[in-house]
Amino acid sequence: MIAAWAWLRKQILAHKAQLRFCLRVTIAAVLAFALMQFWTLPLRGLWAVLTAVVVMQTSIGGSIRATAEYVIGTMVGALYASILGVLIPHSTTLALTAVLALAVAPLAYLAALSPSFRVAPFTAMLVLILAPQFNESPVVSALTRLGEVVLGGIVAVLVSLLVFPQRAHGLGLDAAKRALNQLADALPKLLGGLTHQIEAEDIQTMQDGVGRAVTAFQTVIDEARREQMIGLPLQPDPGPFSRTLLRLRHDLIIFGRAAHAPLPDVIARRLGTPLSAIGRIASNELRACAAAMAARRPPPDDMELEQALDVFATELATLRSEGLTIPLSVSEAEQLFAVSFALEQLRQNFRDLVRAVTDWSRSSR
């Protein structure tokens, strides 16, 4: 029993965010269904319950975003379908088919232009198909759908705010740590590809992993900005950290392209040690920044990386003074220039990273 309880407690702590989300979705669904019992509506308020479940997201900001998009899409789809339903008689199956085509086609195009309208075609179909099933006019059907969706969205947002609320800022910290650790894994490997051959598939896998991590962080940050729109306490501006993370991602892209083939042997032998030191130190400092964010403390300075970059720059200048870069082909010279340029960018971006992590990690979840 003790072992079972210890295992259960460990699982609960490890999946705390998922369990909270599960509880919020359950409460939102039950509450929306209970509220709809005060009205006599077709399908017993099904769309309010579905909306409360669909728009519930992990964070408050995510729920606000999903609710706004769902309500906007429903409003547009319901309004357009009701207008078509009133203007075009559709008492026969053939006429209803034609009206459905007229309703769905432009709304589907609109949904392709903006995610805010993704539910518009679906809503239009519901309004036109369900209205005759319940002896409703298209206008009444549209208003019913819209009212249920608005109620379901309000329930979802209120539950997000009141039941174990999860700020997007806290999720942003987690996403930022994952992105920094992904960068820490990939950077030394890509720099190693300048001195020994690595597979193109491995480079692509590393780049894709970092790209997904950075994209996830950007998504959470967008949700955090929406939270401020409803008056939640202001969190530190994530903009500087977000821009720095994107620039580090761009540095990694340059290193990945340069690492498609090793540098010429004479160059690789001289620059291999400095590049290896830069990869190791940069990886350690990226992990230190991730740990500092988790512990809400300032990260260590980047003086060791600065020194390693200085060693590389000095060795590269020596190679040039010795004339060893003259025999390089155009593509090899471009490769060496790209690496040198990216490392100088890395120097500045690490300085910015230390400042950004210091500001970003001061806040609490």
**Would 111 be classed as within a structural domain?**
yes
What is the structure's pLDDT at 169? 65
Mean pLDDT of 181-189: 92
What is the structure's pLDDT at 365? 43
Query: Does residue 212 share a domain with residue 111?
Result: no
What is the SS3 assignment for 296?
coil
Which residue type sits at 163? V
Residues 308-360: pLDDT tens digits? 999 999 999 998 898 888 888 888 888 889 999 999 999 999 989 988 888 76
**Would 25 be classed as within a structural domain?**
yes
Query: Does residue 132 share a domain with residue 13?
Result: yes
Contact 164, 58 (CB under 8 A): no
Contact 236, 359 (CB under 8 A): yes
Could you say which of 123, 145, 162 is where a domain stops? 162
Q: Which residues contact 59 (CB under 8 A, 6 or more apart)?
A: 160, 166, 167, 168, 170, 171, 220, 223, 224, 227
Q: Which residues contact 51 (CB under 8 A, 6 or more apart)?
A: 32, 70, 148, 149, 151, 152, 153, 156
Return the CATH number at 278: 1.20.58
pLDDT band at 201 (very low <50, low <70, confident <90, very high): confident
Could you say which of 104, 134, 162 is where a domain stops? 162
Closest among 299, 300, 303 to 361, alpha carbons compared: 299
What is the structure's pLDDT at 106? 92
Query: Does residue 183 share a domain with residue 144?
Result: no
pLDDT band at 108 (very low <50, low <70, confident <90, very high): very high
pLDDT band at 229 (very low <50, low <70, confident <90, very high): low
Mean pLDDT of 268-291: 91
Query: Does residue 99 share a domain with residue 140?
Result: yes
* CA–CA separation, 222 and 265 (whole Å): 46
**Number of structural domains the chain divides into:** 2
* Cα first-last separation, the chain: 34
Please report where in the chains the tokens 């174990």 appear, as a residue: 164
Contact 359, 241 (CB under 8 A): yes
